[in-house]
Structure 1
């Protein structure tokens, strides 16, 4: 009985496919409907292609904007780093100049102290000789 049911199912499916094929290919209305279906499929395909193209264009524009923004941010960071580097260099130069001035002042004070000590020693020597 199961075999007969399967055979009957295949026969009915074959008849339905045949009737659909005869309707689509054998009648004027069927050919019109088939033509409309093909036109609809072609239009859908064309629309899908257009939308895909628009999507690619939009993604490309987005990527370009992101690239430009990243480049701009990099240049801003580079400029800030350069400015800070220049400021650090200026501070270092100023500290070096100040260090050199302090060194020169210390040398001058030590020379004065040495001269003062010599003068005191000479005065003391002279007073010692005078008292003898």
Structure 2
């Protein structure tokens, strides 16, 4: 019984498909409907192609802008790094000079103290 129902359903489906094909291919109204459908599909296809070309151009433009922005940021980062290095180098040089001056001052004071001590020893 199930086989008969399946066969009957398949036959009805085939009959419906055949009737639709006959209507679309053999009758004048069907031919007009097929023509309209073909024109609509072609129009849709053309619209999709135009839209994809337009969006492709937008994506390419965005990619170029992103590349330019990345290059600019890279250059800014390099410049900031160079500036930070120059500032640090200048500060380090200043500290070295201050330390050297302090060492010279301490050596001079030590020399003066030694001279004073020697003078005091000679007086005594």
Could you say which TM-score interval applies, normalised by the shorter chain? 0.7 to 0.9
C-alpha deviation, 1:17, in angstroms: 2.4
Equivalent residue, structure 2, for 1:34: 34
CA distance in 1, matches of 2:66, 2:117: 75
- Structure 2: 5+ residue runs without aligned partners? none
2:48 aligns to what?
48
**How big is each residue's C-alpha offset from its partner over 1:70-101, in whole Å with a ceiling of 9 and x where there is no partner?**
33233323322221221111110001111111
| 1:119 and 2:119 are equivalent in the alignment | yes
Match of 1:128 in 2: none
Runs of at least 4 residues off by over 3 Å: 1-15
The aligned counterpart of 1:69 is: 69
Structure with max Cα Rg? 1
Q: Which secondary structure does the structure 2 equivalent of 1:121 belong to?
A: helix
- What secondary structure is seen at the aligned counterpart in 2 of 1:112? helix
* RMSD over equivalenced CA pairs, Å: 2.4
CA distance in 2, matches of 1:120, 1:2: 132
In 2, Cα distance between equivalents of 1:113 and 1:7: 123
Aligned equivalent of 2:14? 14
Q: Offset of 1:41 from its aligned partner?
A: 0.9
Aligned residues: 124
Aligned twin of 1:90: 90
Which stretch has the larger CA shift, 18-27 or 3-12? 3-12
